[in-house]
Chains A and B, each alone.
Chain A
Amino acid sequence: MSEGTRLENANPVIFQRSGERVQTASEEDEDVHDPIDDREIFDILSINDPEHPLSLEELNVVEQVRVKVNDAENTVGVEFTPTIPHCSMATLIGLSIKVKLLRSLPDRFKIDVCITPGTHASEEAVNKQLADKERVAAALENASLLEVVNQCLSTRSI
Chain B
Amino acid sequence: RSSYRDTMAAESTLALSLVEEFVSGLQDSKAKDAAKGVKDGKFTVLQLVEALGSSLTSSQPHTRARGVHLLSEVLQECYGDLTEREVEVLIAFYENRLKDHYVVTPPVLKGLKALTKCTNLPPGSAVSMLRSVFQDIHVQVRLSYCTFKLKGLGADFVFGFVQSMDGERDPRNLLLAFQIAKNLIHGGYDLGKFTEELFEVTSCYFPIDFSPPPNDPHGITREELVQALRAVLTGTPKFAEFLLPLLIEKLDSDVQSAKLDSLQTLVRNSCLAVCLQLKQELTGLWTSVRREVFQTSSEKIESAGLAALTALTSCLSRSVLSSDSEDSLSTFLDFILKDCKHHLCEPDLKLVWPSAKLLQAACSASTRASHIITVAVMPSLLEQYNNRTQCSHRRTLLEVVQRFIHSVKNYESVLLAFREALCSIVFSALSESNSSLQITATSVLTSLAQQAGLLVESDIELALDHLTRLLLTEEDDRVSLAVVECAGALAQLHPALVITKLIPKLKKEMFTGKLLKISRILSTGTHTSSVYLTWSSCSVNFSVDEVVLTCRSLQRIAERVQDSEEAGRCFHDVFIPHLLSLALQAFVSVFFFFVNAFDLFAQCRAYFLMRCVWLPFRLAGQTASRAVSLFLDGDVSFLPDNSFPSHMQLLKQEGDSWSLSRLVCLLMGSVCSLPRSVEVPQIDKLLSALEEMSCACSHPLSYTSAAKCFAGLVNKKPQGQFVSFIKTVSRVCSELDSPSSSVRTQAFTLMIWVRWKTRSVLFSFLKPCLSLCSLQLFSLLDDADLGPMAADGFSLLMSDSTDVLNRACHADVRIMYRQRFFSENSAKLVQGFNAAPQEKKPNYLKALSNIVNKLPKQVQVTELPALLSLLLEALSCPDQDIHLSTLSCLEPVLVNPPQVLIQQLEALINRLLALISSPAMSVRIASLSCISTLSHFPVLPFRARVLRALAKPLDDKKRLVRREAVQARGEWFLLGSPGGR
Contact = CB atoms under 8 A, between A and B. Distances in A.
A150 B962 contact: no
Interface string A24-49: 00011010111010001001100000
Given A104-B954, A146-B978, 11 more contacts: A30-B920, A30-B921, A32-B958, A34-B962, A36-B959, A43-B963, A106-B954, A108-B955, A143-B978, A153-B974, A154-B980
Interface size class of B (residues with CB under 8 A): 20 to 34
Given A103-B969, A106-B955, A154 B974 contact: yes
Given A104-B966, A104-B970, A147 B959 contact: no
Q: Which of A27, A30, A104, A108 has the most CB of B within 10 A?
A: A104
Nearest to A23: B960
Nearest to B954: A106
A121 to B, nearest CB: 28
Contact of A106 (B951, B970, B973): B951
A148 interface: yes
Interface in A126-158: 143-144, 146-151, 153-155
Contacts of A14: none
A43 B966 CA distance: 10
A30 B959 CA distance: 11
A27 B954 contact: no
B513 interface: no
Nearest to B977: A150
Interface size class of A (residues with CB under 8 A): 20 to 34
B962 A147 contact: no
13 contacts: A32-B957, A33-B957, A34-B957, A40-B963, A44-B966, A103-B970, A103-B973, A104-B969, A106-B955, A146-B979, A150-B977, A154-B979, A154-B981
Q: Which of A27, A43, A143 has the most CB of B within 10 A?
A: A27
Interface of B: 919-921, 951, 954-955, 957-960, 962-963, 966, 969-970, 973-974, 977-981
Given A23-B960, A40-B959, A104-B970, A144 B978 contact: yes
A87 interface: no
Interface string A103-115: 1111110000000
Q: Which of A100, A105, A106 has the most CB of B within 10 A?
A: A106
Contacts of A149: 979
A73 to B, nearest CB: 15
Contacts of B951: 106-107
Main secondary structure on B side of the interface with A: helix
B980 A150 contact: yes
A150 B963 contact: no
Nearest to B965: A104
A128 B979 CA distance: 26
B959 A105 contact: no
Contact of B979 (A43, A105, A150): A150
A146 B978 CA distance: 6
Contact of A40 (B962, B969, B974, B981): B962
A151 B980 CA distance: 7
A156 to B, nearest CB: 12
Contacts of A154: 974, 979-981
A23 B921 CA distance: 15
Contacts of B979: 146-151, 154
Nearest to B967: A155
B781 to A, nearest CB: 30
A105 B978 CA distance: 22
A51 to B, nearest CB: 15
A114 B973 CA distance: 24
A58 to B, nearest CB: 19
Contacts of B955: 106, 108
B951 to A, nearest CB: 7
Contacts of B966: 44, 104
Given A27-B958, A27-B959, A108-B955, A150 B969 contact: no
Contacts of B977: 146, 150
Contacts of A44: 966
Given A150-B978, A154-B979, A34 B969 contact: no
